Amino acid sequence: MTISLIEAVKLIAISVVSFISIVLILRSSGKRTLSKMNAFDFIVTVALGSVLATTIVNYKASFWSGILTFAMLVTLQHVATWLSVRYKSVGSLLKSDPALLYYNDTFQEQAMRKERVDRNELKQAIRKSGYVSFEGISAIILESDGTLTVMSDSEKRQLEKEDFIFIEKQ
C-alpha cells in the first residue's frame, strides 16, 4: 500500500482536528461521562473509542458524521446521568441495585444463583483484595458495575445487617 504526501498530511490534519473535537466534547460534558459507575458506562466508553477509530480510518466517507455520532453518544450519556441524579425512577431503571452475596459467615445461595456467581469467584475476589480466608471477611457485595467488593471484619464492628440499606431485598 502506498500513501501520497498529500494524503499523509491530510491524515495528520484529520487526526488533530478529531483529537481536538473529542477533547472539547468530553471536557464540556464533564468527568462523569467516563466514570465507570454502572454496567453501561464502560460499554459506552469502548463504543466511543470505536467510533473515534472508525472516524479517523474512514475519514473520507464519514468524518463529520463520526464526530457527530461521538457527540451524540456523549450527550445521551450526559442526559441519562443527569436524569438519574434528579429522578429516582430513572436511576433505578438505568442501574441495578448491589447484591449481597456473602454475609455473616454464610453464602447467600439464592442471591448467588440469581446473579450467576459461584463460590470460586468469591474466593478469587477475596484473594484479589489481599485476604486469605473467609474468616476475616464480613461481607461480599456484587456492585452495579459488575465488580465484587470485599469487606473485612474490622468494618463489621460498625455495620450490622440493617445498615446495608443499599442492598436490594433478598
- Point out which residues bind other proteins (CB under 8 A): 39-40, 42-51, 54-55, 58, 62, 64-66, 68-69, 72-73, 76, 80, 93-94, 96, 99, 112-113, 115-118, 120-121, 123-124, 126-128, 130-136, 142-148
Distance separating alpha carbons of residues 23 and 123, to the nearest angstrom: 41
Give the contacts of 107 (CB within 8 A, at least 6 positions apart): 101, 119, 122
Nearer to other proteins, 5 or 132 (CB): 132
Environment class of 94 (CB within 10 Å of its CB; exposed 0-12, middle 13-18, buried 19+):
middle
Environment class of 64 (CB within 10 Å of its CB; exposed 0-12, middle 13-18, buried 19+):
exposed
Work out how close the CB of 104 gets to other proteins at its nearest, in angstroms, rounded to a whole number: 16
Between strands 137-142 and 106-107, the pairing is unpaired
Work out how close the CB of 5 gets to other proteins at its nearest, in angstroms, rounded to a whole number: 28
Work out how close the CB of 146 gets to other proteins at its nearest, in angstroms, rounded to a whole number: 3
- At residue 21, the 3 state secondary structure works out as helix
Nearer to other proteins, 9 or 128 (CB): 128
| Helix pair 39-57, 59-86: axis angle to 10 deg | 160
Work out how close the CB of 108 gets to other proteins at its nearest, in angstroms, rounded to a whole number: 13
